[in-house]
A and B are shown apart, each in its own frame.
Chain A
Amino acid sequence: MVQTSTSLFVYWEITQEFLDLARAALHEEFTGLWLRLMREGENGSEEVESRFITTHLTNGSHYFTGKKPYSVYFMELAVAYHGSFFTLLRSVSAFLPPAGRVEEKINSITTSPGITPPALPFAYSPTNLQCTRGE
């Protein structure tokens, strides 16, 4: 999932049965899962980041940050196998949009420290920098 023009969010859920099947099918012992971020290019895909996760972590999520706008990424859940990786799951591709928005905040118009009433969900309380809708 695209979070910003340079960051992606991924979550995964696999069952123990699925892992058992992978383990049995590959006739290999493996000790953990790898989360691999792949970038699509003209000549196929390349790994740009990987993280080791234990096999106990059958559910999880992760943010990949500092990535390139205008690029297509996908994530793989893999096991190390025969010196390479065997892919268990692959996400759909996500295109990181151009980085066009300056990360500025139009901050508080007024400053009213002290009692802050519970704001409406749509009250863009500029005081506490929550003017995120329509900034």
Chain B
Amino acid sequence: MAKGHLNLVLHAHLPFVYSAREEHHLEERWFFEAMTDSYLPLLIMLERLEQEKVPYALTLSLSPTLLAMLEHPVLARRYEDYLQRLIRLAESEVSRTRGQELFHRLACYYRERLCVLHQIYLERYHSNITAGFASLAKNGKLELITTCATHGYLPLMQTNELVNAQIQVGLDAFAARFGYSPRGIWLPECGYFPGLDKILAENKVEFTFVDTHGLKNAWPPPQNNVYAPVRTPAGVAIFARDPETSSQVWSIQSGYPGNPDYREYYRDIGFDLDEAYLQRFLPYPVRIGTGLKYWRVTGNNLSKEPYDPWLALERAQEHAGNFHFNRERQIEYLAARQAVIPVVTAPYDAELFGHWWFEGPDFLESLLRKAAEYSDVYTLSTPSRYLDAYGCQNTAELFHSSWGEGGYSKVWLNPKNDWLYPRYHQAEKCLIRHAAALPKPDAEKKLLLNQMTRELFLAQSSDWAFMLNAGTTHQYATQRVLAHLENFSRLDTMISNGQNCGAELTAMEITGSDLFPVLKPQSFAPEQFSVLTCREAEPTVLMLSWEYPPEIMGGLARHVEDLSQTLAKQGQPVAVLTSRTGTTAPYEQSGGVYVYRLAPYQKAGEEIDFYDWVMQLNLLFFNLAQQIVSANNTMILHAHDWLVGASALELKRYLQLPLVVTIHSTEFGRNGGLFTDLQRKIHAQEQKLAEGADQLICCSNFMAHEVSRLFSVPLSKISVIQNGVMPEKVVARRLQGEERRKYADDKEAIIYFVGRLVREKGVEVLMRALISVLPVFPNTKTVISGKGPMLELLRRLATEHDVADKVLFTGFVTDEERNRLLATADITVLPSLYEPFGIVALEAMAAAAPLIVSDVGGLGEVVRHGSDGLKFPPGNHLALSAAINTLLADPLLRERLGRQGKERADTAYSWQALAKQTNQIYKQLWEEAQPALKAE
């Protein structure tokens, strides 16, 4: 029984170099050379082994771009032409070299070889060799896998969506060709990054490969070095390259291909002979390699000796024997030291065998034969076979690695090619946006979107960055990237402007349609993306609000939520930009509203003060809002309060958009004047916002007059639209038994306050009023919910007034708890000193809570004394205690006020009506803005 296994893996890839325009496109020659030197010889060799029933095992990765070229009918025709030209050249060489025995024999050798290849290509494979590979794979000796769509280097992509797309499309292309999905995938350049395994697992990839250090550096360190696969946390098996087998082929000291008897790659008659002579056979305007090479490596100097293919063949067989011997020793050594059956993974580029190392296929054939014949120490295997037999014993997390120079991303990211990445990344985001925006595109859009995907994929090939780094053919690489990205940009414009497909698209499609004929860009776009992608027919409203549920600081959050959700229900698309301070989702669709939450980088109060924190939030708003607006045809800005004023004003100026501003309260009103620098700064922001808005909204007449007076804006610029309430969000079950006893004894009546504990809310007035209430109604408990800077002062006040045991501070309460307290309380008191509107009053009314409010600002406008509640002069604690005593003494009055308040809240303050009024303002502004926008 064998003690271990050898996984030989060949990765075959070429960038997509087909040209629809040029019959003799210079770079197509790369494909032809690789066909002649590597792909055809390898296939013929494997078929020979198959016919002779040699039990070999080999893994071959065929890249989707290579597959597309192998199957391309035009390329097949051109390749045949290429072969014929080479045969004619070889025939001419046979004549030319007569009299030079060594060279003549070689010319005959090449002529014979090319004729055989030509014949097999046409007669056996009918100009398509993929069928040959597919046939070999059926018996399991050859395991076919694939790689990413265009061999994009995954660690440097910006979005997981495009990483997923490259993988998914690559796998789909393979499945479309071979009728099944490969179990493994070759990562372009062995490029791995943390988290990639999850995407691979989601695509049902069972195994992949990394370079040696990719596994050696894993955590925990692998117990079996690189000689057994490990499983990542997502469940993907990782095989790592064995350095020894790699070195035997590549090393300057010990690598086989450098043997003096092997053919010299760099001496080709295409560069040695007269140019005019060569041009009789070759259609290219420049000298190129012909594959007819007459010299052997010989030594490390210019002096070369003639090549002898028969001697080289002997050497290849000798080297295969050496390689086999070394594997036996290696696997014996490993098997004696590790508990798990060792597997040596030896991956190479397929083009190494034949194209560069001319004798590579001979070496490989000889190795496969020897390994099959002498299999007592090790047997050849494939990753699937190994996993089926032994599985993975260990799990480890892998870090960033590649098989490029240095082991990381330096080859694909350095000053010679780093200009690619901003362009790539911008295009990635653009494609995702469009794909998500068009979940069910019509035929026209589908064409555009598919071509966009192809163009980006083609631009992303790792080959371009590689060539730019190497300095060879960098002009071609540059031209290819720029051309694809320019096409991408044109298509983006066409989709954005709703243009039809035209001749332009047709021209692009000719180049790319054979690549990935079936594309579904929607499948790799996130299911729920955002308004960024939605080209709504209606002008989309972009609301800016620093708070939004579940982040609730005051009434503003609920106001914006209720308004935006009602607008959305009425068919008006709305996006909300808000702050993110907790663990809430950065993006969600909630109640039909697109909500984006942004967290300022620095912490308020620790790294920067609150005002600067607000400004940082505005910068983030500005950035994201630009993206949202650029992805949508139309937009109206609606800002709530000064905290979002900076970004709102800049967006209006920069993007020329109508701006609606709701001023919920003013800094002057909140503080009863302006006393500090911060208050003056905020006031200045409010002033700018009031002046810059196209239309102001206030929630009460009181606020309208205050805004008009403070900021010198005409009342005609201010619309009064009161706040609304959604009764279904407020109505709750009363607290009973133990639940109620958390707040008050059974005998105690409950007086309830909810709101921020700040001066303007007037809780201090309530505390003073209790002094007069408690002697008359000792069985009362005042419950105060909310937090704020006045909490400690209020506690002290309760103690000073000797009412501490009759007052309960609950701190912040959830909406549900608040609703149940409103439903349970005998009286709800809102004693504000300054109140632009007082949404809590509406909520209390909707909950049928008997209500006492101060006759101030919006509160005075909402509550009708004696009908929906009782009112008292703001700040007058004696009047408040009288009102409380009246209600506590009269249960029928409480019941009537609660009932009537609820009726009014349900009818007069319905968000439906209020949202319609708001929408009227949007529409009017939008219509007014149209001529100006068109003129732009």
Are B400 and A109 interface neighbours, CB within 8 A? no
Bound form: Cα–Cα A56–B97 in Å? 66
Among candidates A27, A87, A133, residue contacting B616 with C-beta atoms closer than 8 Å: A87
Which residue of chain A is the closest to B626 with respect to CB atoms? Answer: A15
Q: Which of A20, A24, A81, A118 has the most CB of B within 10 A?
A: A118
Count A-side interface residues using an 8 Å CB cutoff. 64
CB proximity to A under 8 Å, residues B190-242: 190, 193-194, 211-213, 216-217
Bound form: Cα–Cα A106–B623 in Å? 47
Are B252 and A126 interface neighbours, CB within 8 A? yes
Are A21 and B411 interface neighbours, CB within 8 A? no
Given contacts A61-B418, A97-B399, A108-B252, contact A25 B267 (CB under 8 A): no
The contact string, 1 if C-beta is below 8 Å from chain B, for chain A 78-122, is 000100101111100001011011010111111111111111111
Are B266 and A112 interface neighbours, CB within 8 A? yes
Binding site for B on A (CB under 8 A): 1-5, 7, 9, 11, 13, 15, 17-18, 20-22, 24-27, 61, 63, 76, 81, 84, 86-90, 95, 97-98, 100-101, 103, 105-127, 130-135
Which residues of the other chain, B, contact A15 by a CB distance below 8 angstroms? 626
Are B650 and A20 interface neighbours, CB within 8 A? yes
Bound form: Cα–Cα A94–B608 in Å? 25
Q: How many A-B residue pairs have CB under 8 A?
A: 213
Among candidates B418, B608, B681, residue contacting A27 with C-beta atoms closer than 8 Å: B681
Q: Which of A88, A114, A133 has the most CB of B within 10 A?
A: A133
Are A121 and B264 interface neighbours, CB within 8 A? no
Are B622 and A18 interface neighbours, CB within 8 A? yes
The contact string, 1 if C-beta is below 8 Å from chain A, for chain B 394-412, is 0000011101111111110
List 19 A–B pairs whose Cβ atoms lie within 8 Å, in order of A's numbering.
A5-B407, A11-B421, A17-B622, A20-B650, A21-B646, A26-B612, A87-B616, A108-B252, A112-B264, A112-B297, A117-B289, A121-B14, A121-B477, A122-B30, A122-B355, A124-B352, A131-B250, A132-B411, A134-B347
Q: Which of A25, A95, A112, A119 has the most CB of B within 10 A?
A: A25
Are A132 and B405 interface neighbours, CB within 8 A? yes
Are A122 and B650 interface neighbours, CB within 8 A? no
Bound form: Cα–Cα A112–B296 in Å? 11
Besides the contacts A22-B619, A118-B289, A134-B352, what 7 more A-B pairs have beta carbons closer than 8 Å?
Answer: A1-B156, A86-B615, A101-B211, A101-B406, A106-B255, A110-B297, A112-B266
| In the assembled complex, B41 has its CB within 8 A of some CB on chain A | no
The contact string, 1 if C-beta is below 8 Å from chain A, for chain B 338-373, is 000000000111011001100000000000000000
Among candidates B212, B410, B615, residue contacting A4 with C-beta atoms closer than 8 Å: B410
Which residues of the other chain, A, contact B646 by a CB distance below 8 angstroms? 21, 24-25
Bound form: Cα–Cα A39–B212 in Å? 28
Are B619 and A130 interface neighbours, CB within 8 A? no
Bound form: Cα–Cα A89–B623 in Å? 10
| In the assembled complex, B618 has its CB within 8 A of some CB on chain A | yes
- Give the 10 A-B CB pairs with smallest separation, nearest first: A101-B407, A109-B258, A100-B213, A112-B266, A97-B399, A132-B405, A25-B615, A98-B217, A97-B400, A100-B217
Given contacts A18-B623, A134-B349, contact A110 B422 (CB under 8 A): no
Are B356 and A123 interface neighbours, CB within 8 A? yes
Which residues of the other chain, A, contact B352 by a CB distance below 8 angstroms? 124, 134
Bound form: Cα–Cα A87–B607 in Å? 10
Given contacts A11-B421, A26-B612, A130-B472, contact A122 B399 (CB under 8 A): no
| In the assembled complex, B675 has its CB within 8 A of some CB on chain A | no
The contact string, 1 if C-beta is below 8 Å from chain A, for chain B 836-878, is 0000000000000000000000000000000000000000000
Kindly provide the distance from the CB of B278 to the nearest chain A CB, expressed in whole angstroms.
12
Are A87 and B601 interface neighbours, CB within 8 A? yes
Bound form: Cα–Cα A111–B303 in Å? 11
Given contacts A26-B612, A118-B473, contact A101 B408 (CB under 8 A): yes
| In the assembled complex, B257 has its CB within 8 A of some CB on chain A | yes
Bound form: Cα–Cα A15–B654 in Å? 11
Are A133 and B189 interface neighbours, CB within 8 A? yes
Are B30 and A120 interface neighbours, CB within 8 A? yes
Which residues of the other chain, A, contact B470 by a CB distance below 8 angstroms? 125, 130, 132
Which residues of the other chain, A, contact B116 by a CB distance below 8 angstroms? none
Among candidates B15, B189, B411, residue contacting A121 with C-beta atoms closer than 8 Å: B15
Binding site for A on B (CB under 8 A): 13-15, 30, 33-34, 155-156, 189-190, 193-194, 211-213, 216-217, 246-247, 250-252, 255, 257-258, 264-268, 270-272, 287-289, 297, 300-302, 347-349, 351-352, 355-356, 399-401, 403-411, 413-415, 418, 421-422, 463, 466-467, 469-470, 472-473, 477, 601-602, 607-608, 612, 615-616, 618-619, 622-623, 626, 646-647, 650, 654, 681
Bound form: Cα–Cα A126–B301 in Å? 15
Among candidates B246, B288, B601, residue contacting A118 with C-beta atoms closer than 8 Å: B288
Kindly provide the distance from the CB of B685 to the nearest chain A CB, expressed in whole angstroms.
9
Bound form: Cα–Cα A26–B612 in Å? 7
Are B403 and A133 interface neighbours, CB within 8 A? yes
Which residues of the other chain, B, contact A11 by a CB distance below 8 angstroms? 418, 421-422
Are B266 and A127 interface neighbours, CB within 8 A? yes
Among candidates B33, B155, B247, residue contacting A106 with C-beta atoms closer than 8 Å: B247
Are A97 and B408 interface neighbours, CB within 8 A? yes
Which residue of chain A is the closest to B654 with respect to CB atoms? Answer: A17
Among candidates A101, A105, A125, residue contacting B213 with C-beta atoms closer than 8 Å: A101
Kindly provide the distance from the CB of B342 to the nearest chain A CB, expressed in whole angstroms.
21
Given contacts A97-B399, A117-B271, A122-B351, contact A4 B409 (CB under 8 A): yes
Bound form: Cα–Cα A123–B289 in Å? 12
Bound form: Cα–Cα A57–B399 in Å? 33
Given contacts A101-B213, A106-B247, A118-B288, contact A21 B466 (CB under 8 A): no
Which residues of the other chain, A, contact B414 by a CB distance below 8 angstroms? 3
Are A120 and B650 interface neighbours, CB within 8 A? no
Are A100 and B30 interface neighbours, CB within 8 A? no
Given contacts A13-B422, A97-B401, A106-B255, contact A111 B408 (CB under 8 A): no
Given contacts A21-B646, A95-B400, contact A120 B355 (CB under 8 A): yes
Among candidates B34, B349, B601, residue contacting A76 with C-beta atoms closer than 8 Å: B601
Which residues of the other chain, A, contact B410 by a CB distance below 8 angstroms? 3-4, 7
Which residue of chain B is the closest to A15 with respect to CB atoms? Answer: B626
Which residues of the other chain, B, contact A87 by a CB distance below 8 angstroms? 601-602, 616
Which residue of chain A is the closest to B302 with respect to CB atoms? Answer: A114
Which residues of the other chain, A, contact B287 by a CB distance below 8 angstroms? 117
Are B467 and A124 interface neighbours, CB within 8 A? no
